[in-house]
Amino acid sequence: MPHELIRHRGNNRVLRRMNAEVLKLQGGFTLIELLVVIAIIAILAGMLLPALSRAKAAASRIQCMQNTRQLSLSVQLYGDDHQDFFPRSQHSSFAYHQAPWEITVRPYLSLSSLTSSSAMEALHRGVFKCPKIKKSSQWSYGLNVYFELEATDDYRGRPQTWRKQSQLPHSSETIILGEVEDSADHIMAHFWDQGMPVTIDRNRHGKDDLSLYGYADGHVSSLEFEVTYGTRDRPADQWHPQGVR
């Protein structure tokens, strides 16, 4: 049938019907066809959105793992330049007239040329902030306090101290930093034996109770918290330099 409307002085009813058929062929969907297309789009969206969500979560986890590894390495490099000592966190740095670790590791994070305020702002936006954290003022990572304790402090294993990296008997099994759920730059792991609350963000990267941990030898692991700090049936303690509780 030609695409131009056929004009004839004959039966107007037939002509109108023919014109309607031509218009239908020339363009436009019927209501049923439109609903079918919408249904197909909805099905495809339902299939793609979960995959996109998982990809976004995986990207955030990879970035957070890179942050943890970079910060762990910066702590090691600090020790290389400071007689093997660990940096101090805000837990003890001010009492010993030292800057906290988020300041002292700046030279190893390509931030030494920045002013103090701009460096801290860069840390909060970059390596010191997990992409999963939306609050700009919240610390994402905390330093294990065990490495700044003195013999006069209250902790299991005193008067033995582990201020120097070379004093760790098992560096590959000892955590130096983890992901925190509060605003502190440190983790009071030495008080957990006394019933103090655990401030680890245990499920930042999923509902399976997984979090990232940086170890003294520089590697990073994604683990359940109970693997790092066990129960009576599994008395592991990767926060304490001596290991088992």
DSSP states of 138-169? S--EEEEGGGG--TTS--TTTT----BGGG-S
Query: Per-residue pLDDT tens for 125-162?
Result: 788 888 888 776 567 899 999 999 999 888 888 888 99
What pLDDT, on a 0 to 100 scale, did the predictor assign at position 90? 94
Rounded Cα–Cα distance for residues 238 and 245 (Å): 9
Q: Which of 48 and 218 is assigned the larger pLDDT? A: 218
pTM for the full predicted model: 0.75
For residues 67-71, average pLDDT? 94
- Report whether pLDDT(79) > 70: yes
Q: Say how far residue 19 (Cα) sits from the centre of its chain.
A: 63
For residues 207-229, average pLDDT? 88
CA torsion 107-113-118-120 (nearest 10°) is 10
For residues 6-34, average pLDDT? 57
What pLDDT, on a 0 to 100 scale, did the predictor assign at position 9? 46
What pLDDT, on a 0 to 100 scale, did the predictor assign at position 5? 41
What pLDDT, on a 0 to 100 scale, did the predictor assign at position 69? 94
- The three-state (H, E, C) secondary structure of 77-135, written as one string: HHHHHCCCECCCCCCCCCCCCCCCHHHHCHHHHCCCCCCHHHHHHHHHHCCCCCCCCCC
Residue 65 CB contacts under 8 Å (≥ 6 apart), including other chains: 212, 220, 222
Handedness of CA 48, 53, 57, 63 (dihedral sign): positive
- Phi, psi (rounded to 5 degrees) for 193: -65, -20
- Report whether pLDDT(36) > 70: yes
